[in-house]
Structure 1
Amino acid sequence: MRKLIASVAAFVAFAGIASSALAQTAVTGSAPAGEKKAAMCIGCHSIPGYQASFPEVHKVPMIAGQGAKYIQSALNAYKTGDRKHPTMKAIAGSLTDQDIADLAAYYETLPAEKSALGDKPSHEPSTEVAELLKKGNCVSCHGNNFSKPIDGTYPKLAGQHADYLYVALKAYQTKDNPQVGRANPVMGGMATQFSHAQLKEIAKYIGSLDTELHVVPQARFKSNETHVK
């Protein structure tokens, strides 16, 4: 199974690189333009500690500092329905390809001051979690420090909110649900190997790592920082 997942991952990575290159040729994102278009994003992604209630209560993902190609890929997946989420589908469906490229370019530039991570994770997992990560072959796509994906269409994971990671991983296991689920052959094959308890342990470890991802509050939300750790 591990060899099969690795082979599929390599194929999808190649396909992702090719499709991303074509997309970049067709549409070039502008960070300044994206900043002007981000009003629909800041109500969730720019509030420290903000939690969504669907499909269960969890912190919304940090997108500031995420790779532009991944943000484009994710928004397009919501737009096409490969990722099922009523709110995100409605938002993504209202965006043009240029809008998506601009928003992705903007969030990749955040925050203004960046600190690079080392090549290894900031701390090692327990023996049990290490075995789960090895079984899932996670570093083959997301990098040894979980923040250097082999292709830009894959996300940085290190330090992402653990409860969001858990919900996302479960979504790859979900079938035949019109409102919840994610279609991705690599992630689907990986996630189905694990119980929910094991997915939670994976998410907890990856979420505990040092990160390049952030919540960057807009001016009207900065007062919330004093109330949320």
Structure 2
Amino acid sequence: MNKLLNSMFALAVASVTAVSAHAQEIKGDAKAAEQKIAMCIGCHSIQGYQSSFPEVYRVPMISGQNAKYIVASLNAYKKGERKHPTMRGIADSLSEQDMADLGAYYEQHGKIQAVTKTPKVPDAKVAALLQKGACISCHGDNFSKPLDPSYPKIAGQHKDYLFVALKSYKVENQNTWGRNNVVMGGIAKQFTNAELKAMSAYIALLDGEMKVIPQPRLR
């Protein structure tokens, strides 16, 4: 299994390198994005806002997330690699420049200074699950320093969102829900939903750099 995961990681890094090289051609403008965030703030700038599709869960925190990951995610929705009707509709309306601008905006939006705190140690069961999935190999130290900026920071993210996101990589033959990703699909399918939930709960407890920042027009 480790040999298979290493091969999958190598493929993923090669793919990310190609995507990153292309993404570097377009420089995001955070200021310009201020005129483009109307479609985002209705969900991502409301504390506790929940999606009801395909089940109820809090939408992800994106303020403080890596710009390149935001761009990669939007492209995945646009290409249908991530299946979600609302996000697909939004991504379809965006140009590559729009995506780069939104990525730049949310990466620096409310950026907080990193604070060194005592690491939270998972119990033996969860630690074994995280090791089995080799999660730190991509998501980095304390799950907040990804191997590549096209990968997400996940420390402190909502546990219900993390769980739903992980489950989505196991979904097959659905037109409106699921995510197609060779690496994450191979990893997620090793675990039961109960195990994915346990890992999500631990990662959500970690100190992260993301948060929800209400916009003035929504306060």
Which TM class, normalised by the smaller chain length? Answer: over 0.9
1:122 Cα offset (Å): 2.9
Q: Give 1:39's aligned amino acid.
A: A
Deviation (angstroms), 1:210: 0.7
Matches within 5 A, 1:104-183: 104-112=103-111, 114-118=112-116, 122-183=119-180
Instruction: Give the AA of the match of 1:148.
Output: K
Matching of residue 214 in structure 1 with residue 183 in structure 2: no
Q: Which residue of 1 aligns with 2:101?
A: 102
- 5+ unaligned residues in a row in structure 1: which ranges? 223-229
* Contact preservation (8 Å) 1:121, 1:210: no
Q: Distance in 2 between matches of 1:107 and 1:121?
A: 27
Alignment of 1:178-189 (within 5 A): 178-189=175-186
The aligned residue for residue 225 of structure 1 is: none
Hey, what's the Cα distance between the residues in 1 that align with 2:106 and 2:94? 16
Tell me, what secondary structure is at the counterpart of 1:220? helix
Partner Cα distance (2:34, 2:16) in 1: 26
Deviation at 1:87, TM superposition (A): 0.3
CA distance in structure 2 between the partners assigned to 1:122 and 1:37 by the alignment: 37
Q: Which amino acid aligns with 1:17?
A: T
Cα separation, 2, equivalents of 1:175 and 1:132? 23
The residue that corresponds to 2:200 in the other structure is 203
SS in 1 for 2:101: helix
Superposition CA RMSD, Å: 1.3
1:128 Cα deviation after fit: 0.4
Q: Normalized against structure 2, the TM-score is what?
A: 0.96
SS at match of 1:36: coil
How far residue 121 of structure 1 moved from its aligned partner, in angstroms, is 7.6
**Partner Cα distance (1:97, 1:108) in 2:** 17
Question: 1:18 deviation in Å?
Answer: 2.6
Q: What secondary structure does 1:47 align onto? A: coil
Query: By how many angstroms is 1:28 displaced?
Result: 1.2
**Does the aligned pair in 2 maintain the 1:2–1:136 contact within 8 Å?**
no
What secondary structure sits across from 1:56 in the alignment?
coil
**Matches of 1:20 and 1:205 in 2, distance apart?**
30
- In 2, Cα distance between the equivalents of 1:110 and 1:143? 22
Cα gap change, 1:63/1:16 in structure 2, threshold over 3 Å: closer, same or farther?
Answer: same
- Kept in 1: contact 2:23–2:68 (CA 8 A): no
How big is each residue's C-alpha offset from its partner over 1:200-224, in whole Å with a ceiling of 9 and x where there is no partner? 00000001111100101101323xx
**Uncovered stretches (5+) of structure 2, i.e. residues with no partner:** none
Within 1, Cα distance between the matches of 2:36 and 2:145? 27
**What is the DSSP-based 3-state SS (H/G/I as helix, E as strand, rest coil) of the residue aligned with 2:94?**
coil
Kindly tell me the number of residue pairs found equivalent between the two proteins: 219
Tell me which stretches of 4 or more aligned residues in structure 1 moved more than 4 Å.
none
Residues 167 and 193 in structure 2, CA contact (< 8 A), matched pair in contact too: yes
Q: Which residue of 2 aligns with 1:21?
A: 21
TM-score normalised per structure 1: 0.92
Deviations 1:176-215 (A, max 9, x none): 0001110111100100000000000000000111110010
Query: Does structure 1 conserve the Cα–Cα contact (< 8 Å) formed by 2:82 and 2:179?
Result: yes
